[in-house]
Copies of this chain bind each other. A is one copy, B any other.
Amino acid sequence: MLNHTYSATAEQLDAARQARLQIRQGYDRPTAGMVAGMTQVNMLSLPQEWAWDFLLYAQRNPQSCPILDVIEHGEFKSKLGQDIDVRTDFPRYRVWEHGKCTAEITDATSIWEQHTDLVTFLIGCSFSFETALMDAGIEVRHIHDQCNVPMYLTNIPCQSAGRISGNLVVSMRPIHASKISEAVQITVKVPQVHGAPVHIGAPHVLGIQDIQQPDFGDAPRILADEIPVFWACGVTPQAAVMNSKIPFAISHAPGHMLITDIPDREWMK
């Protein structure tokens, strides 16, 4: 009774499943705009011994780390979709050792064989509000340009938890000055997928030296009278992995998300 009843149509469920199959078979591109209207999620998997610290980190930093599912140690199925296998259903993964990215891979099955106690966190993604932005006539530049959203490591520390600390990562969308207020009003309604912007304009205040050199994703194309608008980003956990030198972790590669069976509009209820 307190659970959501996810109201995807048969067509949406089929499209999501087909996309996962395509990804499982080797599709290796950023996923923004794929299966429009269906929720995509970020991932971080950690050894069980680190799971408490991370869950507490997420609890203390809900805007950057809104957890949509926790998959218990050794498991790889998710309640967010019927046939989801988190080992294969992201297009690309990053393997982390002592805070350094030591590999990018497209199939993580062998990782789960080697590390049998991984706890997996699936985290909301701002891609989930992009359909709503476009429905309101707000162009989402990286979808229009078919590239990856630009993401920046800021100088804003998150609340630490146990051994885990790190700075906030933000995604950026250039938005016409006349549309920014509406973008805030749309996104504030969906805290589970990062909610309202954390910052509008003045990138240097976030410690961003050059907006054309994002830390993750592709350089943005910013038009006249557009202002950079920044939202908390689900890559924030990866910044925490780096900063905290966690001995082992695996995450999605920025922008390369899992497509779930949950319609985006679920978060607008």
Show the binding face of A for B, using Cβ within 8 Å. Answer: 1-3, 51-52, 55-56, 59-61, 63-64, 67, 70, 72, 156, 158-159, 162, 168, 198-199, 232
Which of A3, A51, A59 is packed against the most chain B CB atoms within 10 Å? A59
Contact assessment for A59 and B67 in the assembled complex, using a CB-CB cutoff below 8 Å? yes
On whether A162 and B2 interact (CB within 8 A), knowing A55-B56, A55-B59, the answer reads: no
Q: Are A2 and B168 in contact (CB under 8 A)?
A: yes
7 closest Cβ contacts across the A-B interface?
A52-B52, A55-B55, A1-B156, A2-B63, A56-B70, A59-B67, A2-B198
A70: chain B residues at CB < 8 Å are 56, 59-60
Alpha-carbon gap, A156 to B232, bound state (A): 35
- Whether A159 pairs with B63 at a CB distance below 8 angstroms is no
* Cβ–Cβ < 8 Å partners of A63 in chain B: 2
A67: chain B residues within 8 A (beta carbon): 59
User: Given A52-B55, A72-B162, A162-B72 in contact, is the A156-B64 Cβ separation under 8 Å?
Assistant: no
Give bound CA distance, A199 to B55, whole Å: 30
In the complex, A85 Cα to B64 Cα: how many Å?
Answer: 30
Query: A162: nearest residue on chain B (CB-CB)?
Result: B72
Q: How far is the CA of A232 from the CA of B133 in the complex (A)?
A: 33
Task: Point out the residue from B3, B60, B162, B198 that lies within 8 Å of A1, measured CB to CB.
Answer: B198
Q: Are the C-beta atoms of A232 and B2 separated by less than 8 Å?
A: yes
